[in-house]
Each structure stands twice: as structure tokens, then as C-alpha cells.
Amino acid sequence: MTEIAVIGAGPAGVSAAVAAAGAGAKVTLIEEVARPGGQYYKQPAASLHPHPRSVPHSLADNLQHGRELIAGLKHPNIDLRCNTLVWNITPDRALDLYGPKGAERLQAKKVIVAAGAYERIVPFSGWTLPGVTTVGAAQLMLKGQGVLIGQKILIAGTGPLLQLAAVQLLEAGAEVAAIVELQSQVGFFANASKLFGQWGKIGQGMANQKRLMEGGVPIKYGYAAARALGSNQVEGAVIAKVDSAGRPVSGSEETIVVDTICINFGFTPATELTRLAGCEQRFDPNFASFATVTNPDFETSVRGIFAVGEVRGIGGVEAALLEGQIAGAVAARQLGYQADGQDVRKEWQKARASVESLGAMFAVKPGLFESIPDEVLVCRCEEVTAGALRSAARSGATTLNSLKAWNRCGMGRCQGRTCGPAAAQIIAAEIGSNPESAGTFTARIPIKPVPMSVVGAVEEARPTGTAMEDHVGYGKAVVR
């Protein structure tokens, strides 16, 4: 039993835990990886010391801010549980954990879900080859491990993250062969200036551009990665110009010799846990993905379960920190503690507003999904091609859930986290509907693979039924 369980020790989760503990509540902060910080404030192990003066400037600041945030977790009211996966959550706030001590069920009076986001991708030919990674993966390898993922790197996708990551990789010693940005140059700058809306961030964006220019990194605006070349690993890339609808222009292909391709088209909220708990989700057209609905106190439609940060919709680190702070205090207050911190709602509104339309501005045009060749894999786990998705959609699989019956899309180890948003776009484009009507894959336990013995351990301890029966919509006949 704990008073407040916070799931995820990224910026939102750490800030929620610190606020709730400061008000006097007992907090259990559960983190899947070895150290707090999340992906944004990824921290290396204690035995790998980055030197502030010799690591790239852009990383040193990030590491320092992360360390300062995490220092707040040294509070007697906070029980930090790392290397621990929350693989089940029930609407009455029972959490099933799998960690160093094996399986455990934790009952919480309040739950704050701060699960973060996943990178959004657009599948292209050859994207399963070793050497193709997400942009975030390259950043994590650098920040958390001190390892440069490649020597000659192509960065492809859309949004300001591409340029920031390019600077980091460049400063760490890689050659960035090119940045392939889906937006046109005019579109990118118009969007970026609206997005940033703050002089500091415009300054940062300009500094990145200057650094890339000095480093000789070409930025190809209005281009997309069309193919990864190589048989056992990446040996090159073909890029192509795209038209205003996002379709590749034939005859515009160029081949670049690279050993690594990093892709990112923005982010999509990690909503498995809130979906599993039955919390209301709403389609956010700006990001073309579902996000968890909350009231102004960040409580979801399921009482006692809160959602903060990217789970509510992509909003960036400042918003995540403030949402954690507010929700942590509200949850503590609901338990009878006095939380008299300063009111940060105005700052929060400002932070959210500055990135609110980020998704719309860097939206991936439907033409790019329409023109994914039929033979390209979309679901990496079950190896389902775009053609198979389209043919299923034409014969009636108009939602993500129905796709499963046709071709097992989304039923592999990643449970649709990687392919879901792209598959929704592809079937929507095929039948002329929209990704909202494609819905989401139903969240299933365990939300990530765990040994059978872990599920079994929990099952034995239950008075009645199976853990699956806690969830609306899961047919008992299927379970028994």
C-alpha cells in the first residue's frame, strides 16, 4: 500500500513526486529503467562520468538540469523503485509490478501516470535494417552511454528536434551527412518562429542553424528518406523530394553514403496505462494521436488516477514539469495534506500554449503515408507490410483493432507502440477516412512482455477471477 504511486521518473513524474512528498504524502515513484530522469534528462551510470567541459555544450546543460531535478528525490517520503515495470493497472488503482524483487502488487490511494511519449515514425523501405534508429535512440546512446551511434549519419523526419540532435552528434564527433526535413524551408521557418514564440528558443534555434552551417551539414528541406540501402546493415540512403501533399517526386532521388539513418517525426503519447485503466482518451488532431483527457487538476475520467506530461498530449518539458508539480500537490491535498506551493498555473498555460500547435505545424502530410510502397514493413514485430494493411482495410478492417484479425498487425512484442500511429494513417488513407476513426489498439496486460511466472504470481494471490477481468471489454469467455 502506498499513498501516491507515480509511474515514470521523467520530468513530469519526478516533479509530481517531489511536490507530493513535499506536502507530506508518502510517494512510491516507479521507473522502468535503472535511473530517474526519463529520456529527456537521461543520466549515465555513476561509473561513467561525463566531464562538463569536454562533453558537447548542448549535452552538458541537459545533464546538469537533470541532476538538479533528480536531487529533489532525496526526500524521506519518496520511495524510488527503479528497474521496475508497471505491467498492469486497474481502475481501482492496483498496480502490478515486475522488478528486481520479482512480481508485486501495489495498491495506491492515488496514481499519477507520467509515462511520457514514444517517437512517431513513418515507415520507409529498409527501415528495419540494423543502422536505422530513431533520433532519440542516437541521443540516448550519446547522453546515457557516451557512445556515438555512427560515423556518417543521415537524420530524417520533421521538426526542430532533428537540428538539435544533429548539433549534438556533430559536437560529439560524428559526421552528419544531411538533415532531411519534410517541411519546405518557408514552412519550417514560419512554423518554427510560431512554435518558439519565445526569444530564448528562437535564439537557440538560430544557434543550432549556425552551428550546422559551420559544420557543413546540409539541411534538405522538402525531402524525405525513401530507402535505406544495404543487406545486413545500412550502407547508404536514398532521399527524395516531396510535393506539397507529401508525395515523393519521381526522378528527384539522390543517393547518400551513410552508415546510420536516424528518424523522427515528432512524438506520440504513451497511453497504454491510462487506456488499460479505462481513462477517457481524446484524439488530438494536432498530433494525429490519442491523448489522455484530464480536468484542470490533471485528474483523468477515472477518479484517483491522474495523468501529467506527454500522456495528456505532447507539450514539452516545461509543461511536463509544471503539470507534475500541480498534480502532485492536488493528489496530496485530496489525501488531506497541506500543499501550499506557489500557484504555477499561469506559467503552465504559457508553456502549453507555446507548443500547443507544434503538432499541426509539423504534421506529417497524408501523401507520405499514401506513397509508402506496398512491400514496406509497417509492423516490425509481426512483419506486416503496408500492402497487407491496405488490402485488409479494403476488405473491412477499418480500425486498428480489426487489423489484428486480418494480419496480426500490432500483436507482437511491442504491442503496436511503434507501428500503431502509422498503421492508423495508412488504413485511413486507403479508405478515405481519418486516423481518429481507426482508433487505438486495445491495451492488454502485460503492457510489456514479462515472464509467465510473474503473471502467475499475481494470479495466485487474487481472490477471484483473472487480472484481465478487471478490464472492461475483455471477454471472460476468452480468458476462461
- Cα(435)–Cα(79) distance, integer angstroms: 40
Which positions from 441 to 480 touch another protein by CB under 8 A, shown as an x/- string?
-------xx-------------------------------
- Cα(371)–Cα(422) distance, integer angstroms: 12
Which DSSP helix (H) or strand (E) runs through 107? Answer: strand 102-113
Among 3, 31, 96, 119, binds another protein (CB under 8 A): 119
57 binds another protein (CB under 8 A): no
Strands 152-157 and 281-284: unpaired
Beta-carbon contacts of 236 under 8 Å, excluding residues fewer than 6 positions away, are: 228, 229, 230, 255, 256, 257, 258
109 binds another protein (CB under 8 A): no
- Cα(83)–Cα(72) distance, integer angstroms: 19
- Residue 33 DSSP code: S
Number of chain residues interacting with another protein (CB under 8 A): 55
Amino acid (1-letter code) at residue 178: A
Q: Which stretch binds another protein (CB under 8 A): 291-299, 313-321, 376-384, 432-440?
A: 376-384
Q: Which is nearer to another protein, 51 or 480 (CB)?
A: 51
Interface of this chain with another protein, residues 304 to 333, rule: CB under 8 A: none
CB 268 within 8 A of CB 240: no
Q: Which is nearer to another protein, 112 or 141 (CB)?
A: 141
Beta-carbon contacts of 155 under 8 Å, excluding residues fewer than 6 positions away, are: 135, 162, 165, 166, 169, 176, 178, 179, 180, 261, 262, 263
Q: Which is nearer to another protein, 77 or 260 (CB)?
A: 260
Cell representation of residue 34: 535503472
8 binds another protein (CB under 8 A): no
Among 65, 72, 82, 129, binds another protein (CB under 8 A): 129
Cell representation of residue 395: 476488405
Among 19, 80, 95, 132, binds another protein (CB under 8 A): 132
Q: Which stretch binds another protein (CB under 8 A): 145-153, 179-187, 204-212, 273-281?
A: 145-153
Q: Which is nearer to another protein, 300 or 385 (CB)?
A: 385
Would you mind telling me the total number of residues written for the chain in this entry?
480
Amino acid (1-letter code) at residue 439: G
118 binds another protein (CB under 8 A): yes
Among 260, 271, 325, 440, binds another protein (CB under 8 A): 260
Q: Which is nearer to another protein, 314 or 330 (CB)?
A: 314
Q: Which is nearer to another protein, 228 or 242 (CB)?
A: 228
- Cα(254)–Cα(237) distance, integer angstroms: 8
Interface of this chain with another protein, residues 157 to 176, rule: CB under 8 A: 172-173
Strands 289-292 and 281-284: antiparallel
Among 62, 134, 158, 399, binds another protein (CB under 8 A): 134
Beta-carbon contacts of 114 under 8 Å, excluding residues fewer than 6 positions away, are: 6, 7, 8, 9, 10, 12, 13, 16, 307, 308, 309, 311, 320, 324
Strands 117-119 and 132-134: unpaired
Q: Which is nearer to another protein, 383 or 469 (CB)?
A: 383
Q: How far is the CB of 60 from another protein (least distance, A)?
A: 9
232 binds another protein (CB under 8 A): yes
Q: Which stretch binds another protein (CB under 8 A): 184-192, 247-255, 277-285, 414-422?
A: 414-422
Q: How far is the CB of 383 from another protein (least distance, A)?
A: 5
Among 102, 130, 218, 341, binds another protein (CB under 8 A): 130
Q: How far is the CB of 69 from another protein (least distance, A)?
A: 19
Which stretches within 248-399 are classed as H helix? 272-276, 316-334, 345-356, 358-361, 366-370, 386-394
45 binds another protein (CB under 8 A): yes
Q: How far is the CB of 277 from another protein (least distance, A)?
A: 19
233 binds another protein (CB under 8 A): yes
Amino acid (1-letter code) at residue 293: V
- Cα(129)–Cα(142) distance, integer angstroms: 21
Amino acid (1-letter code) at residue 470: D
- Cα(384)–Cα(376) distance, integer angstroms: 8
Cα angle at 187 between 185 and 188, to 5 degrees?
A: 65
Q: Which stretch binds another protein (CB under 8 A): 132-140, 159-167, 206-214, 453-461?
A: 132-140
Among 160, 412, 420, 435, binds another protein (CB under 8 A): 412
Amino acid (1-letter code) at residue 244: S
Q: 46: exposed, middle or buried (C-beta count within 10 Å: 0-12, 13-18, 19+)?
A: exposed
Q: Which is nearer to another protein, 246 or 410 (CB)?
A: 410
Q: Which is nearer to another protein, 191 or 260 (CB)?
A: 260
381 binds another protein (CB under 8 A): yes
Phi-psi sector, 416: left (phi>0), alpha (psi -120 to 50), beta = left
413 binds another protein (CB under 8 A): yes
Give the footprint of another protein on this chain (CB under 8 A): 32-34, 39, 44-51, 54-56, 118-119, 128-134, 136-138, 140-142, 144-151, 172-173, 232-233, 259-260, 380-383, 412-414, 417-418, 448-449
